[in-house]
Amino acid sequence: MYMKALKMYWNNLTLLYKIIGLFAVPLLIVVSTIFSQALFNEMADPEFSLVGYSLLTVYILLEVLIDGWNFGGIYGKNFQGIALVKASNTGMKLYGQMIVTDSLRRIVYFGLLAGICMKSVASGVIMGAVVTLAVMVSRFFPGYMSSLLLSYIAPIVSVCLVFMLYEVNPVVHWMAALGIAVFATILTVKFAVRSMERSYYDRER
Are 196 and 87 contacting, i.e. CB atoms less than 8 angstroms apart?
Answer: no
Worst-scoring range by mean pLDDT, 2-11, 164-173, 185-194? 2-11
Tell me, what's the pLDDT at 189?
85
Which pTM value belongs to this model? 0.86
The average confidence (pLDDT) of the chain is 82
Q: How far is the CA of 197 from the CAs of 51, 76, 158, 202, in angstroms?
A: 44, 11, 31, 8
The pLDDT of residue 138 is: 83
* Residue 194, H or E segment: helix 170-200
Per the CB < 8 A criterion, the answer to whether 103 and 184 are in contact is: yes
* pLDDT of amino acid 186: 92
Least confident range of 8-22, 85-99, 173-187: 85-99
Residue 204: what pLDDT? Answer: 45
Q: What is the tens place of the pLDDT at every residue in 69-121?
A: 777 656 655 555 555 555 556 667 777 788 889 999 999 999 999 999 988 99
CB pairs under 8 A, 24+ apart, for 172-179? 173/120, 173/122, 173/123, 174/122, 176/122, 176/126, 177/122, 177/123, 177/125, 177/126, 177/129, 178/125
